[in-house]
Amino acid sequence: MKKVIIAGIALVFCLSALCAESWSPAVRFDGSEITSDTINLRPNDPITYSSAFAEGTPISLDITATDTSDPMVTAVIFSDDSGTAVEGTTVWNYTTEEYQDFPKTDTYQLTETVTTSSGSTVFNRSVKLLPEPIGILAFAILGALLLKKRSRLFAAAIVVTASLTLSAKADVTVENVTCLQGWPFTRNVIINYTVSSTSADPRLAVKFYGTTDSGETTFDLSQYGTLSGDGADGMIEDMGTHKTFWTPNDSFYDTITDGFKVKVEAVEMLYMVIDLSGGTSASSYPVSYLADVPQGGWTSEYKTTKLVLRKVEPGTFTMGSPSNETGRGATTEEQHQVTLTKAFYIGVFEATQKQYKLVTGSNPSGYKHDGNDIDDNAVESVTYDDLRGSGANWPAGTGVLGSTFLGQLRIKTGLRFDLPTDAQWEYACRAETTTALNSGKNLSDTTACAEAAEVGRYNANRDDGKGKYYNSVCTVGSYLPNAWGLYDMHGNVWEWCLDYLQLNLGTAAVTDPKGPESGSSYNGYRVLRSGSWSSNASDLRSARRTGSASSSGNQVNGFRVALTLN
């Protein structure tokens, strides 16, 4: 129950924006079965087709249409009055879906011959290609085909859809949604839409919904047919105009409505998930993306056999603490403005014993249970050099030793994973808060207080039963997350950051700081953040900065993974 409540609170925190969505105008839909040599027509059935969707326009036609309710009735549609192709036209072979360019502003004359048992009747009609952006070719079959055909409306299913969350920093837009069926040439519906995002390096989850009653009920198109083209796999990485095809399944045979509309929803893929289950023997670690916290929350696999990171958009924040903050370190927490110009991913959880062992083959942690690994406890006793290699000299270079945790992660994903910088860590920890803790609260005491106990494992609550080893680190994700869904940014283990430690950061505004060079650092120490299971409450504060030698690996030091986007 507690985990459910915590997951619910995390979702509330993450609901900073709703997914972008947009409906198309209503169009006519006809679900009649169409084969390569038979098209079911009815009196006064309109036919519409959009040149904008097909990269060309089907004008030169040679299609035999048969009303299957009476085998004596046939209709043949020709190219134009002369029966030959108009200059510049190309026959549309709808069986292979080959489309060619065609002028979009001219008017042409078509002839239809309707043959019955009592003779033949010829109908002439004009076909006008409408200019962009409408891009719709409309031509009407005006003649009566003499017979009726039974039809029925499809009862659309009501689909319950899950709400998707966006980063507080990203804005996704869906516009210009249009849909059009290629009937009688095909039952397929062609969907055009434009997506955009203010996110850096956006990956969008996209879903398609339909309605046959102008929006009173909706259904998931993927559940009632097949999708192909852009976004058919549920993800779009390129912003701009896209085209998706929907082929209805058999449930839509004989559905006829003038109220068919399509809705396109798009939301930022907020989470990156790395599958570590292959361990050291795997040649690669698959990488996937999620738009939201999975239904049921972050289960054990995301803390053990998978590694999950959350995307954080660029922004500006005030680093450091105000002079009146309880527990403040005056020489290490001068307030100054920091601007981060690049988006980055950062671990939702601190790295665990299982994750570290899968990647490296070993578990350095001192706190195990009867000598056995505690899979979902934060890994500790990890040195900076263990993670990057003793020769990896940030900020002079970005390389890491291939045999290290980060080196193996890079090799098996092709992505340049690393530790967060000092500034990235505080930006992610705060999640737009300015208080001592990322819960929006300040400390009421520097040693022990209820405010600290809510957000992390520290000295005063280390016997609360949330870990499998008494009085030490605990299961990651045991306390409240911040507004961006990041856990244990306060307490549990001190977390290594990339930078050398500089005590006095000054008050001048900076952009994308990388910390000092080795010669100007404090004792050559690397930065440590967050406090640990043995810390007092004052060490848990968002602004708290300390450091240690890169070779130091005592039982309070751990880490979380980051990935900066170019």
Helices first, then strands: H and E counts in the chain: 7, 28
Residue 283 burial (CB count, 10 A): 7
The separation between the first and the last C-alpha atoms of the chain, rounded to the nearest angstrom, is 41
Q: What is the pLDDT of residue 107?
A: 39
> Does residue 62 contact residue 78 with C-beta atoms inside 8 Å?
yes
Query: Is residue 96 packed enough to be buried (19+ CB in 10 Å), middle (13-18) or exposed (0-12)?
Result: exposed
Q: What is the pLDDT of residue 441?
A: 97
Q: Give the 3-state secondary structure percentages of the chain, helix then strand then coil, rounded to 5.
A: 15, 30, 55
Q: What is the pLDDT of residue 199?
A: 87
Cα 318-319-324 angle, rounded to 5 deg: 90
Helix (H) or strand (E) holding 175: strand 172-181
Which residues contact residue 268 at a Cβ distance below 8 angstroms, ignoring those fewer than 6 apart?
166, 167, 170, 172, 197, 199, 202, 203, 204, 205, 291, 311
> Does residue 246 contact residue 188 with C-beta atoms inside 8 Å?
yes
Task: Per-residue pLDDT tens, the chain, 566 aa: give them.
Answer: 444 333 343 333 333 344 799 999 998 888 876 544 444 443 334 443 333 333 333 333 333 333 334 444 333 333 333 333 333 333 333 333 333 333 333 333 344 444 444 455 444 433 333 333 222 222 222 222 222 222 222 222 222 222 223 334 578 999 999 988 876 566 789 899 999 998 878 899 999 999 999 889 999 999 999 999 999 999 999 999 999 999 999 888 878 898 999 999 999 999 999 999 999 999 999 999 999 999 999 999 999 999 999 999 999 999 999 999 999 988 899 999 999 999 999 999 999 999 999 999 999 999 988 788 999 999 999 999 999 998 778 999 999 999 999 999 999 999 999 999 999 999 999 999 999 999 999 999 999 999 999 999 999 999 998 877 778 999 999 999 999 999 999 999 999 999 999 999 999 999 999 999 988 899 999 999 999 999 999 999 999 999 999 999 999 999 999 999 98
Q: What is the pLDDT of residue 185?
A: 60
CA-based nearest residue to 274, from 288, 284, 261, 260: 288
Residue 82 burial (CB count, 10 A): 10
Q: What is the pLDDT of residue 89?
A: 32
Domains of the chain: 2-26+154-268 (no CATH), 41-140 (no CATH), 313-396+416-564 (3.90.1580.10)
List helix spans (H) across 337-440: 353-360, 384-388, 405-413, 422-430
Three-state SS letters, 417-444: CECCCHHHHHHHHHCCCCCCCCCCCCCC
Neighbouring-strand partners of residue 384: none
